[in-house]
Chain A
Amino acid sequence: MPGEDAGRAMEPLLRVENLKVEFHTERGTVAAVNDVSYDIYDGEIVGLVGESGSGKTVSQLAVMQLVRTPPGLITGGRVLFEGADLLQYPSKSREMRSVRGRKIAMVFQEPMTSLNPALTVGLQLREMLELHLGMNREASRERSVELLQMVGIPDAEKRVKDYPHQFSGGMRQRVMVAMAISCNPKIVIADEATTALDATTQLQLLELMRDLVKRLGVSLVLVTHNLGVVARYAHRVYVMYAGRIVEHGTVAQVLSCPRHPYTRGLIQCVPRPGLGDRPLISIDGMPPDLIELGSACTFLPRCPYREPTCEQEVLPKLEVVEPGHEVACHLVSKGSDPCR
């Protein structure tokens, strides 16, 4: 794992502290992201795992201040990036706009809808280069062809003039990756970037992204619900549940020795061919309703290891179980570790 120990000693590139995002709906206030803190170091690949509705995407959008307000509202926390708290800037400010795309770029989930169908892909690439790097038409045209070549689109000179509907899903996502890296950002956030693709395309795209971030020295945030992807590509992983981070550590720590019952459940429900007839164990129940979160552990109703004492205690906090590995579980902090 490159840069792991070195990374720990360095300042993080991006530090998110106690981020809170709420959505105000007719039914009540949804606490979508609750006290989420995480670090991204230079040049590393970080996985952010959790099931649908666990706040993965919203937390990433909040970092970029792209949560739609209303109904969403960032109610607290800090996003420290290059010596400044991004949340201090108004969403539409020049400072914020010069971070988006230029310093932190995003690749979204749906390749079919993430590109404007009315404009050629070349134009959409050039738009970004002209906006952030002040390139002229000629330079941006050349650069956009180069970028398409970099992401492995054959016949790039011709393809820049094509419209998004003339590309397949995988190719469009490559275009999105080209856009993301076009201004040499510090961080690329891939928000379920490969989820909508078939398995082989997914693999190709992930390999491509890994190569590119390594070559360009970019940090990559892989937002996914696929633990296999995390195991293969990420250095460190954060596991989210019900808007909170419940466990984080290096991929080796978390995946080979998951300490939180939820992480354990996630790993058990990944099919692994070649390991005999191991039954797939699913996690019982449903994710909690984020409107009526009690003060107890949010995973309690679904937890197979729960103990009577868990119900009396307030929400567990993240605690260090070994260097670089933190878990938020009463049982772990009491030493009666269920996963050991």
Chain B
Amino acid sequence: MPATSVTSEKAVTNVSKRRTGEFRRIVRVLLSRKLVVFGLVIIFLLLVAVIFAPVLTPYDPYKTSLRETLQQPSWSHLLGTDNLGRDLLTRLLYGARISLLIGLVVVVAAAAVGTLLGAIAGYYERWLGSLIMRVMDAVMSIPMILLALIIAALLGGGMANVMIALAVALTPAYARLMHGQVLTVKQNDYILAERAIGSRSIHIMLRHLLPNCLPQILVVMAMMLGGAILAEAGLSFLGIGITPPTPAWGSMVNEGMQYLETNPLMCFAPGIAVMLVVFAFNMVGDGLRDALDPRLRGTI
């Protein structure tokens, strides 16, 4: 039959195209959306700031200069200076380091712990799973800021404790996501088939359940990075996160509040930085979700 041979040939070329094209397809989907590209550009700029901060600016973010306080933007100080005469742009660049560091550590830690707990809970459905998920529900029922406040009150401020507080607050989200994923993936025949060839539970969990849940976890990580940065800024703004003189965006907004009328940039610059970065991560996370969503596969 000529018809079938034509379709099978088509299928063969499709297959070879698809083999090389999976990564490229994801990139193409991401780049086809303006907002995602915008987000990627901001993230790129953020990375440049984080890596090259000492090269990009001649100033020290900590060194005060009482003769140059609250200056308006000029060529020597592009964003002006703050109430202690420190270059605002410099503090913004160094603040990006803090934000990204905390965001990454928090998200990775929460994802690692949450994914593990969720996987165990989904795999051992009976009392162990219920126990883990009830604890997660309990943690989730406490508002994140409140939880962070409690932890900060217990452990004190400082960067490490902010990370712990936020990681604890974000862990249940991953645990629930993973739990649901595992429960769904577990129903698949290939898990039964895997048991039917005599594999061990731990092997099934790591080799078969995890890879099938990973795309969703990655998407949530990308989206949560923005949330974590925002939460850190919020805590620092409230004064229980990163404390001055460390240049964190949140505490910079707080400091700037008192000088809203004399030098509004002191408040707005870090605020806008937080907004842009959170927006960028959310957009990229959204784009990633769409690109990795198997239901949309092949439509673009």
Interface presence of B189 (CB below 8 A) = yes
Known: A114-B189, A116-B211, A118-B214. 20 other contacts (CB 8 A): A66-B195, A66-B196, A92-B201, A96-B198, A97-B198, A97-B199, A98-B198, A101-B196, A101-B198, A102-B198, A106-B193, A110-B189, A115-B193, A117-B190, A119-B208, A127-B199, A131-B197, A132-B198, A166-B15, A176-B193
Which residues of chain B (165-222) have a CB below 8 Å from chain A? 188-190, 192-201, 207-208, 211-212, 214
A105 touches B190 (CB 8 A): no
Distance to closest chain B CB from A120 (angstroms): 10
Q: How far is the CA of A115 from the CA of B198 in the complex (A)?
A: 15
A106 touches B196 (CB 8 A): yes
Interface presence of A99 (CB below 8 A) = yes
Given contacts A97-B198, A101-B198, A128-B197, contact A108 B212 (CB under 8 A): no
Which residue, B11, B195, B208, has most C-beta atoms of chain A within 10 A? Answer: B195
A159-182 vs B, Cβ < 8 Å mask (1 yes, 0 no): 001100010100000001001000
Interface presence of B18 (CB below 8 A) = yes
A118 touches B192 (CB 8 A): no
* CB-defined contacts of B196 to chain A, threshold 8 Å: 64, 66, 100-101, 105-106, 108
* CB-defined contacts of B190 to chain A, threshold 8 Å: 113-117
Interface presence of B19 (CB below 8 A) = yes
A162 touches B198 (CB 8 A): no
Q: How far is the CA of A52 from the CA of B200 in the complex (A)?
A: 30
Q: Nearest chain-B residue to A167 (Cβ)?
A: B15
Q: How far is the CA of A168 from the CA of B201 in the complex (A)?
A: 29
* CB-defined contacts of A132 to chain B, threshold 8 Å: 197-198
Distance to closest chain A CB from B253 (angstroms): 43
A97 touches B200 (CB 8 A): yes
* CB-defined contacts of B192 to chain A, threshold 8 Å: 66, 108
B194 touches A161 (CB 8 A): no
Give the total of A residues in contact with B, Cβ under 8 Å.
Answer: 32
Q: Which of A105, A110, A131, A168 contacts B199 (CB 8 A)?
A: A131
Given contacts A108-B189, A114-B190, contact A100 B195 (CB under 8 A): yes
* CB-defined contacts of A118 to chain B, threshold 8 Å: 208, 211-212, 214
Q: How far is the CA of A138 from the CA of B283 in the complex (A)?
A: 44
Q: Is the interface of A mostly helix, strand, loop or mixed?
A: loop
B197 touches A116 (CB 8 A): no
Which residues of chain A (117-151) have a CB below 8 Å from chain B? 117-119, 127-128, 131-132
Q: Which of B18, B188, B195, B207 contacts A127 (CB 8 A)?
A: B207
5 contacts between A and B (CB under 8 A): A99-B198, A101-B197, A115-B193, A127-B199, A162-B19
A77-121 vs B, Cβ < 8 Å mask (1 yes, 0 no): 000000000000000100011111110011011100111111100
Q: Nearest chain-A residue to B14 (Cβ)?
A: A166
* CB-defined contacts of A119 to chain B, threshold 8 Å: 207-208, 211
Distance to closest chain A CB from B218 (angstroms): 13
* CB-defined contacts of A96 to chain B, threshold 8 Å: 198
Give the total of B residues in contact with A, Cβ under 8 Å.
Answer: 22
A161 touches B19 (CB 8 A): yes
Q: Which of B19, B194, B207, B212 contacts A117 (CB 8 A)?
A: B212
Q: How far is the CA of A102 from the CA of B200 in the complex (A)?
A: 14
Q: How far is the CA of A115 from the CA of B208 in the complex (A)?
A: 10
Q: How far is the CA of A63 from the CA of B176 in the complex (A)?
A: 34
Given contacts A64-B196, A166-B18, contact A113 B188 (CB under 8 A): yes
Q: How far is the CA of A127 from the CA of B19 in the complex (A)?
A: 21
Distance to closest chain A CB from B157 (angstroms): 42
Q: How far is the CA of A106 from the CA of B199 in the complex (A)?
A: 13
Distance to closest chain B CB from A200 (angstroms): 11
Distance to closest chain B CB from A174 (angstroms): 15
Q: How far is the CA of A233 from the CA of B170 in the complex (A)?
A: 58
B15 touches A114 (CB 8 A): no
* CB-defined contacts of A106 to chain B, threshold 8 Å: 193, 196
* CB-defined contacts of A179 to chain B, threshold 8 Å: 193, 197
* CB-defined contacts of A98 to chain B, threshold 8 Å: 198
Q: How far is the CA of A65 from the CA of B208 in the complex (A)?
A: 20
Q: How far is the CA of A114 from the CA of B189 in the complex (A)?
A: 5
Distance to closest chain B CB from A320 (angstroms): 34
Q: Nearest chain-B residue to A104 (Cβ)?
A: B196
Q: Nearest chain-B residue to A123 (Cβ)?
A: B207
* CB-defined contacts of B189 to chain A, threshold 8 Å: 108-110, 113-114
Q: How far is the CA of A97 from the CA of B202 in the complex (A)?
A: 13
B198 touches A131 (CB 8 A): yes
Q: Nearest chain-A residue to B215 (Cβ)?
A: A118
* CB-defined contacts of B193 to chain A, threshold 8 Å: 106, 108, 114-115, 176, 179
B111-143 vs A, Cβ < 8 Å mask (1 yes, 0 no): 000000000000000000000000000000000
Q: How far is the CA of A114 from the CA of B190 in the complex (A)?
A: 4
* CB-defined contacts of A131 to chain B, threshold 8 Å: 197-199
Q: How far is the CA of A143 from the CA of B200 in the complex (A)?
A: 22
